[in-house]
């Protein structure tokens, strides 16, 4: 039954992909070019090839294909997904503008799309625009063509004098070149084609530009943020204690060793007392991504670096990664606790681990602690805060949401998470959610910049 559901979901996804690409082809290729033109041929080829790179990316990542092949197809495949999103949104916004402009006197001309079988006034044919001629205009055009007259505007003036309305438009067409069937080709595009091309160029600039800026934000490294969190039970000696919160690094076919290096440099520049890596470190195996994680060995903090699993660790071999980060000098907290000066630091496994019998165990992680001391909990998913409240946790540090990553993603993330990003209070427990230092899928962020957050603890006892 599960296989049938997965297969059905795959078919629906492919169908949706085909529909969206058909819409893009129509607006960005067909409506702005003539059959046989260079853009019609190139645009059609791209409309077929680009979605194939996306399909290849998804297939290779789930089929265990060689990692080198995954890396080759991942960049174009994932980047095109982001481009597809913002090109589609820009086109939908353009539809509203198109609707308004067509109801203005300027945009009300009766025109047909390029290459249509029945051209009307202003139709593009092979890169020009044709207009249906009135009898007077056709006769004038035919006479001019037969006699080789050097002043075609004379016939146009006569046609304009003998008719009104459509004849005025025909007089413009008569200044051009006669075509078979009593139609005359204009030398300039119609208003509809001009509008279609203007909106297509604007859409491309907006969609591709948004994707480029979002990709630069990821590849340039995370922003360093700071937030102060007062805790009633925090000891005086821990006042001002700084925890660098890092989440959702997502090492994989796209983001590798250079990405890890940027994050480590950002963390070390903050000179924290402790580093907390709160899940989704990787999307792959230790064999493929171990070298990419190597810079984590250079994290510097007085009390060390700690790690809890995220849901993506359990999509692969979570045990292997727990062992590997330990070799890198990062301390895994698998439903465990450490006593630090002024507060307790605890960590729980991600909910995804329940499928392997290794889910979060709050009782084990918090057992035997002094309830008079503040407790800071590392838990990947924000939704875990409800259990944290029940167990008397003072502060939970999480990630998972990416802040939505790609707008309008924040609105979707809010449907499944109590907090998408930032600091909020739930009963006596405060929850801080990082937007994450990396990206999943497209290496692009729009409206949710990547970050490393320095959480500075403040004691109310001072």
pLDDT, tens digit, 9 for 90 and up, residues 267-279: 999 999 999 999 9
Residue 159 has pLDDT above 50, yes or no: no
* Arithmetic mean of pLDDT, 23-37: 94
As a whole number of angstroms, the distance between CA 25 and CA 44 comes to: 7
Spell 24-60 as b/e; 16+ CB within 10 A means b. bbebbbbbbbbeebeebeebeebbeebbebbebbbeb
Residue 292 CA to chain centroid, in angstroms? 23
377 strand-pairing partners: 346, 396
SS3 154: helix
> Which residue, chain included where needed, has tokens 């790690």?
307
* Average pLDDT taken over every residue of the chain: 84
- In this prediction, residue 443 carries a pLDDT of 97
* Alpha-carbon distances, residue 373 vs 230, 320, 339, 369, 370 (angstroms): 14, 33, 10, 8, 6
Q: Kindly report, residue by residue over 316-326, the tens digit of the pLDDT.
A: 899 999 999 99
As a whole number of angstroms, the distance between CA 111 and CA 232 comes to: 71
Beta strands in 62-217 (DSSP E): 123-125, 128-132, 177-179, 183-186
SS3 117: coil
360 vs 147: which has the higher pLDDT? 360
Is 0.85 surpassed by the pTM of this model?
no
Residue 452 has pLDDT above 50, yes or no: yes
Q: Kindly report, residue by residue over 57-88, the tens digit of the pLDDT.
A: 999 988 889 999 999 999 999 999 999 999 99
- In this prediction, residue 308 carries a pLDDT of 98
Residue 174 has pLDDT above 90, yes or no: no
- In this prediction, residue 313 carries a pLDDT of 96
As a whole number of angstroms, the distance between CA 46 and CA 252 comes to: 26
Q: Kindly report, residue by residue over 347-375, the tens digit of the pLDDT.
A: 999 999 999 889 999 999 999 999 999 99
Of 161, 382, 185, which Cα lies nearest the Cα of 278?
A: 382
Whether the Cβ atoms of residue 37 and residue 127 lie closer than 8 Å to each other: yes
What would the two tokens of residue 53 be?
Answer: 């790179």
As a whole number of angstroms, the distance between CA 373 and CA 342 comes to: 7
To the nearest whole percent, how much of the chain has pLDDT over 90? 71
Residue 42 has pLDDT above 80, yes or no: yes
């Amino acid at each position: 039954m599960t296989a049938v559901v997965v297969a059905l979901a795959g078919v629906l996804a492919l169908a949706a992909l085909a529909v969206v690409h058909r819409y893009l082809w129509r607006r960005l290729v067909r409506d702005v070019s003539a059959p046989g033109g260079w853009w019609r041929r190139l645009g059609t080829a791209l409309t077929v090839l680009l979605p194939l790179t996306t399909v290849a990316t998804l297939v290779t990542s789930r089929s265990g294909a060689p990692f080198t092949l995954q890396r080759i197809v991942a960049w174009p495949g994932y980047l095109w997904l982001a481009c597809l999103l913002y090109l589609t949104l820009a086109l939908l916004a353009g539809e509203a503008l198109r609707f308004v402009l067509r109801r203005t006197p300027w945009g009300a001309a009766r025109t047909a799309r390029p290459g249509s079988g029945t051209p009307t006034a202003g139709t593009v044919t092979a890169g020009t625009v044709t207009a249906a001629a009135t009898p007077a205009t056709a006769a004038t055009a035919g006479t001019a063509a037969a006699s080789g007259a050097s002043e075609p505007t004379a016939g146009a003036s006569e046609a304009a004098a003998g008719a009104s309305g459509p004849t005025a438009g025909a007089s413009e067409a008569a200044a051009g070149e006669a075509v078979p069937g009593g139609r005359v080709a204009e030398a300039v595009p119609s208003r509809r084609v001009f509008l279609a091309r203007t909106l297509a160029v604007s859409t491309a600039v907006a969609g591709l530009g948004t994707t480029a800026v979002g990709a630069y934000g990821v590849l340039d490294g995370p922003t360093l943020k700071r937030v102060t969190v007062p805790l009633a039970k925090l000891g005086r000696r821990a006042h001002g204690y700084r925890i660098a919160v890092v989440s959702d690094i997502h090492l994989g076919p796209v983001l590798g060793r250079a990405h890890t290096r940027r994050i480590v440099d950002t963390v070390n520049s903050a000179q924290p007392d402790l580093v907390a890596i709160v899940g989704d470190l990787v999307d792959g195996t230790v064999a493929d991504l171990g070298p990419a994680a190597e810079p984590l060995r250079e994290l510097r903090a007085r009390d060390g670096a700690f790690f809890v699993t995220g849901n993506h660790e359990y999509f692969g071999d979570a045990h292997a990664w727990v062992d590997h980060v330990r070799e890198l000098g990062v301390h895994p907290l698998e439903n465990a606790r450490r006593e630090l000066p002024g507060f307790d630091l605890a960590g729980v496994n991600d909910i995804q681990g329940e499928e392997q019998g290794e889910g979060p165990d709050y009782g084990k992680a918090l057992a035997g602690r002094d309830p008079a001391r503040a407790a800071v909990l590392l838990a990947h998913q924000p939704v875990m805060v409800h259990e944290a409240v029940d167990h008397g946790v003072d502060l939970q540090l999480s990630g998972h949401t990416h802040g939505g990553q790609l707008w309008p993603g924040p609105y979707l993330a809010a449907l499944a998470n109590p907090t998408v990003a930032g600091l909020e209070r739930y009963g006596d427990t405060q929850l801080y959610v990082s937007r994450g230092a990396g990206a999943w899928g497209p290496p692009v962020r729009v409206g949710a910049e990547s970050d490393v957050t320095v959480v500075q603890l403040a004691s109310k006892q001072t």
